Chains A and B, each alone.
Chain A
């Protein structure tokens, strides 16, 4: 094939395909013509075939393919034979440390080399070409549209959609419940939320036959006042079955042993509803650990500033002011768990939280006694 710069901008004519003297290129060009394509520019990448430069390029591309195969083989070999089993703490000297990096490097290199080979072939060996094709943008011809209209009209007529309004209405009335029936089984997913957002694992009636629920650590150990040093805090759970697991996602409580001066400030600030039930015990206070924003644990306790911080969205709560929010997106205080120490010296909750802990929700009642101060 030779350069065909001259063919641009002239309307090519149809050729007689039965003519045996046609060259392959002429037959091919007839195909382009039928697809409304014209060649603007076409020339081989190398003016003279078989030059040194062309051979060199072929060797480069071929080399890329061969090296790609080599790395792919290395990948398979490493996959099979490289020691891979994890045997605890390994250092960089141990070969199994390198298993994943070796797989990545060999597979990556193999793919990249094959990609480079294909791309170099396309960019350095394929002929240089530029073609222009008619876009035929826009809708169909008016003729086609008319025919389609007549066909659709025929369909409407055949079915009598206009003449039989009763059938149309009946079909719609029948189809609507049928559609409903199709999605109705999804209703099996629905579950009444019930009291799941308001009642927690500290509810004695529900989880402990009305006996006050003690506090425990994660390992089940019951909590005594001497286990928390002044200024310290621990996370405690209701001492019931699975009380420390995800089955009671709103139950975790932060038990803080305040310094005398801080406890005095808190007592002064105490909301009436907590004052009434005597929610503190000595200098101890227990706050729900579940952030009232969207429910992450507010687990960072800054002793110096008396703030609790939620690491998810940085809501901050003032420990000496009922854990009221003082910064960030949270709008409500962390509910306090009313508690005392029982006869045997263990912490017990005297009741469930007075207000629902955790993130607010649409039908969360706004209790008047929550209005701070």
Chain B
């Protein structure tokens, strides 16, 4: 054993030497391996998107081997009995073949779809984290903008993806897109004619969106993701405030082995979850929808969740059509679909610049902000979240109406009123909650923790004993400054109670071997101060 180890060590040295002779790697290798990364669970949300993207490339390549992007009409003769003898496009027939007649094709299709939903969902959640903690501030505005573009390219990549099978549902989606495209002033009908090579649906749209879906957009996504991750690397990750952490340093652990091992583990975890979902949970059963026919639709035709808010806006927007007789018309769908989508692209893109302008804060920020410490921004964020949520719910209002036995028209009206009123209420409430939380932090810093111990004065008054966080002055006050990180709110956060040793089924009674672990935790997270 020992000898073999020695040999492999010297082999490694030799290989390293040979590589370094040619590529001069010693310096960069050291810098890369030693690079320090800050640690927090919320820094891993973007990684979910990255790892889903890799999985999308892998499963997508498999699907592309069997999919035929053609709208040539064929008579289905495959294994799925209910559709035998039905006229359909080659694209739909090959999608059915992937589901029924390609070994493992169904799990690949379902993994591809689940990974897409995970990709888009994690981008959204990651974006919320960046927004609410102010991580988009200088010097990272560029990366924020790249992130927004990633979302929108992903949005259309996903939409085109579920349009490809040419089943009833995907054709309905394309039909709605046609209606939206036609509403654009001046170029609408021409843009629609270019997209469908003439009249909708034509015979070319599938091959057109196929090349976009499998080549152009993945390439753009890959390029943007490379720059996005590269900038995080070059600009160094933001970190939460805490003891020893400043705007000018990074506290954490090394890229190798710690960070990379956790990333690899996390990646495999994401893939494992998607593989299990792809095998166990059905998604988009295209064989139930039949081929797309312009005169056929089923109720509960919903797009994927990331498109639903837009569909919801289209449902809610009143029938306000602008007519400019005799020649021009601005259809109602223009406002929610085209103007609404445009605003959803532009507003997030320029938000960092807007915030700089209004706060006149032009400095660099490498320490994150707690959402409560910036009530206006947090309020705006919650406002957008509420708006988006109402839009998304309205995108399925027919299903809600049916499931919960509510009048469909009442759902629509609730959405119409709610989408105007609730975001404003949400802003106000969030703002007040942030101020309240801030105040409580200051309160604890000045007066100490609530201990839950009630005392009674000789004159009969009850009061609660407070545990000051530092030596108090003669009035019982402590002059502690708020430093932008968590203030302890419970006695066992300041060591009043020993942390229990954790066991899986029962507490492990004997003291652990690693007395240092708690000390490390304190320094790292600042939670326990």
Pair from one complex: yes
CA gap between A325 and B139 in the complex, in Å: 52
Partner of A119 from B188, B200, B265 at Cβ < 8 Å = B265
Q: Which residue of B lies closest to A235 (CB)?
A: B295
Inter-chain contact A299/B311, CB cutoff 8 Å: no
Those of A287-323 within 8 Å (CB) of chain B: 289-290, 293-297, 299-300, 311-315
Whether, in the assembled complex, A281 has its beta carbon less than 8 Å from a beta carbon of chain B, the answer is no
CB neighbours of A295 from chain B (8 A): 175-176, 178-179, 200
Inter-chain contact B186/A362, CB cutoff 8 Å: yes
Inter-chain contact A104/B107, CB cutoff 8 Å: yes
Partner of A368 from B80, B325, B524 at Cβ < 8 Å = B325
CB neighbours of A315 from chain B (8 A): 319
Whether, in the assembled complex, B190 has its beta carbon less than 8 Å from a beta carbon of chain A, the answer is yes
Partner of B276 from A105, A133, A235, A300 at Cβ < 8 Å = A105
Known: A101-B280, A252-B294, A327-B412. A359 touches B182 (CB 8 A): yes
CB neighbours of A299 from chain B (8 A): 295-297
A-B contacts, CB under 8 A, total: 321
Partner of B266 from A119, A130, A300, A311 at Cβ < 8 Å = A119
Known: A86-B101, A132-B244, A190-B193. A111 touches B271 (CB 8 A): yes
B-contact 0/1 string along A105-135, CB 8 Å cutoff: 1011111111111110111001011111111
Whether, in the assembled complex, B517 has its beta carbon less than 8 Å from a beta carbon of chain A, the answer is yes
From residue A54, how far is it (CB to closest CB) to chain B in Å? 9
Whether, in the assembled complex, A41 has its beta carbon less than 8 Å from a beta carbon of chain B, the answer is yes
Partner of A329 from B172, B184, B301, B318 at Cβ < 8 Å = B318
CB neighbours of B316 from chain A (8 A): 329
Partner of A111 from B201, B269, B327 at Cβ < 8 Å = B269
From residue A67, how far is it (CB to closest CB) to chain B in Å? 13
Inter-chain contact B272/A362, CB cutoff 8 Å: no
From residue A256, how far is it (CB to closest CB) to chain B in Å? 15
Whether, in the assembled complex, B248 has its beta carbon less than 8 Å from a beta carbon of chain A, the answer is yes
Inter-chain contact B104/A135, CB cutoff 8 Å: no
Choose, from B144-152, B252-260, B484-492, the stretch at the interface. B252-260
CB neighbours of A366 from chain B (8 A): 323-329
Whether, in the assembled complex, B321 has its beta carbon less than 8 Å from a beta carbon of chain A, the answer is yes
CB neighbours of B190 from chain A (8 A): 190, 192-193
B-contact 0/1 string along A37-81, CB 8 Å cutoff: 100110101111001010000000000000000000000000100
Whether, in the assembled complex, B385 has its beta carbon less than 8 Å from a beta carbon of chain A, the answer is no
Inter-chain contact B172/A118, CB cutoff 8 Å: no
How many residues of B are in contact with the other chain, CB < 8 A? 114
CA gap between A114 and B178 in the complex, in Å: 46
Q: Which residue of B lies closest to A131 (CB)?
A: B36
CB neighbours of B314 from chain A (8 A): 294, 313, 329
CB neighbours of B261 from chain A (8 A): 118-119, 121-122, 126
Those of B264-292 within 8 Å (CB) of chain A: 264-269, 271-273, 275-280, 292
CB neighbours of B199 from chain A (8 A): 196, 249
From residue A49, how far is it (CB to closest CB) to chain B in Å? 11
CA gap between A237 and B296 in the complex, in Å: 13
Partner of B248 from A37, A122, A137, A358 at Cβ < 8 Å = A137
Partner of B279 from A48, A105, A332 at Cβ < 8 Å = A105
Inter-chain contact A133/B249, CB cutoff 8 Å: yes
From residue B468, how far is it (CB to closest CB) to chain A in Å? 28
Inter-chain contact B275/A314, CB cutoff 8 Å: no
Inter-chain contact B315/A109, CB cutoff 8 Å: no
CA gap between A133 and B265 in the complex, in Å: 25
Those of B379-437 within 8 Å (CB) of chain A: 397-398, 408-409, 412
Q: Which residue of A lies closest to B268 (CB)?
A: A115
CB neighbours of B398 from chain A (8 A): 311, 314
Known: A103-B107, A112-B269, A193-B189. A329 touches B332 (CB 8 A): yes
Whether, in the assembled complex, B4 has its beta carbon less than 8 Å from a beta carbon of chain A, the answer is no
Partner of A45 from B185, B317, B514 at Cβ < 8 Å = B514
Whether, in the assembled complex, A209 has its beta carbon less than 8 Å from a beta carbon of chain B, the answer is no
Known: A108-B279, A109-B272, A130-B253. A122 touches B258 (CB 8 A): yes
* A-B pairs with lowest CB-CB distance, top 9: A104-B279, A294-B179, A108-B276, A111-B272, A112-B272, A115-B268, A119-B265, A118-B265, A252-B295
Q: A100-B110, A295-B200 are in contact. List 16 more A-B contacts (CB 8 A).
A: A79-B103, A87-B79, A102-B279, A108-B280, A129-B253, A130-B524, A131-B254, A132-B244, A137-B248, A191-B198, A249-B199, A252-B295, A294-B333, A330-B332, A359-B182, A360-B183
Where the two chains meet, the residues of A that have a C-beta atom closer than 8 Å to any C-beta of B are 3, 31-32, 34-35, 37, 40-41, 43, 45-48, 51, 53, 79, 84-89, 100-105, 107-119, 121-123, 126, 128-135, 137-138, 189-193, 196-197, 235, 237, 245-246, 249-250, 252, 289-290, 293-297, 299-300, 311-315, 325, 327-332, 358-368
List 16 interface pairs A-B (beta carbons < 8 Å), by A numbering: A105-B279, A107-B279, A108-B279, A112-B268, A122-B261, A131-B251, A132-B249, A135-B247, A193-B192, A250-B294, A293-B333, A299-B297, A312-B301, A313-B311, A359-B333, A362-B331
